[in-house]
Structure 1
Amino acid sequence: MKPTTRGTLAAVITCVAAAAGAAATPAVAAGSVPVPVPLDGVEKSLNVQLPKVGGELPLPVPGKPEGPQYVEGRLIPQGAVPQLPLSGGLPGAGLRAPLPHVLGDGFDHVEVGTPASDLRTLTPGLSLDTPLTPPNPDNFGLPDLKLPQAAVLTPLLQTVPGANLGLAGGA
């Protein structure tokens, strides 16, 4: 084999391996994105100790809606406009502020944190039914009349938020 052929073959194999590795890892591996608030410049210019502030923004992930469910005695499937599930989270925040020590030198710190918590939602949906029944054999195969039905499926919101409050020593 010529050296150029070997180099080309090695480059092709490397590209295929990189593409396979990239396809195996998800595009977004993290469930939330950290958002720091930079206060270092103000802290250094004023020569004071400022609070450390940061946050987390969750990434919403759409789910797969449930398909139509056919129910006996209805002409239109139940859940004509399906509910779309979304999962994500509530944003988190963190604050660490200096607290002057009353009896001695140095600082103690007070910390407040609200971690990002999981959030599960379902969008509103719609369920309809026609004012006709299925064919009735007692009525020569013609449908009977009935009252039309319409229902709004309520949205769903489930989460368990939390918060932490504490005192810490050190810088």
Structure 2
Amino acid sequence: MKPTTRGTLAAVMTGVVAAVGAAAAAPAVAADTVPIPVPLNGLEQALNLRAPKIAGQLPVPMPGAPEGPRYVEGRLLPDRALPQLPLAAGLPGADIHTPLPHILGHGFDHLGVGAPAADLRTLTPGLALDAPLTAPNPDKSGLPELKLPQAAVLAPLLKTVPGANLETGSGA
């Protein structure tokens, strides 16, 4: 799979999980999340029916320490002139539990979707440059020689393992 395809797939999956997490979610699983309850008590009283229980959690991004520039022999500029910044957070979580009317009898059945917050590790893009001059050459009275300049963009990184549970059954 090409890196652009992987990046696009990761962006789509992140968007889908974020949309599900924004719609509804559960109590905080990780210590670095903020719980977001969705109060629907007024709906139960106004419509006289059992409302779904919806809760969510949003991750709090925590920046890490960037890996500093590395000096390489034979180069005038350090490697990774613009270092990659690591970020650790999580994907939003969701917990939706809704009652369904039981068609053939009394009581309720329920449908539940649980998507707990998943760890997410990222690295921002970085930049590596090299000057169009070599190191001083002792054979030429300490003058540097010309060479082609070099520039490279360090690709961003995205690592996560999202999961979800779908359940149905009798009960509230």
Q: TM-score range by the shorter chain?
A: 0.7 to 0.9
Letter matched to residue 49 of structure 1:
R
- After TM superposition, give the deviation of residue 57 of structure 1 in Å: 0.3
Percent of aligned pairs with the same residue?
69
Return structure 1 stretches of 4+ with deviation > 4 angstroms.
none
CA distance in 1, matches of 2:93, 2:100: 23
Q: Secondary structure at the match of 1:134?
A: coil
- After TM superposition, give the deviation of residue 47 of structure 1 in Å: 1.0
- After TM superposition, give the deviation of residue 141 of structure 1 in Å: 1.6
CA distance in 2, matches of 1:147, 1:155: 26
In structure 2, list runs of 5 or more residues that go unmatched: 1-29
Which one is further off, 76-85 or 92-101?
92-101
CA distance in 1, matches of 2:101, 2:45: 18
User: How does the TM-score come out when normalised to structure 2?
Assistant: 0.79
- After TM superposition, give the deviation of residue 103 of structure 1 in Å: 3.1
2:84 — aligned with what? 83
Q: Secondary structure at the match of 1:144?
A: coil
2:46 — aligned with what? 45
CA distance in 1, matches of 2:136, 2:76: 10
1:141 — aligned with what? 142
Alignment of 1:113-132 (within 5 A): 113-132=114-133
Letter matched to residue 86 of structure 2:
P
CA distance in 2, matches of 1:115, 1:169: 23
Q: Secondary structure at the match of 1:108?
A: strand
Q: Secondary structure at the match of 1:41?
A: helix
Alignment of 1:100-119 (within 5 A): 100-119=101-120
User: How does the TM-score come out when normalised to structure 1?
Assistant: 0.80
Are 2:168 and 1:167 aligned? yes
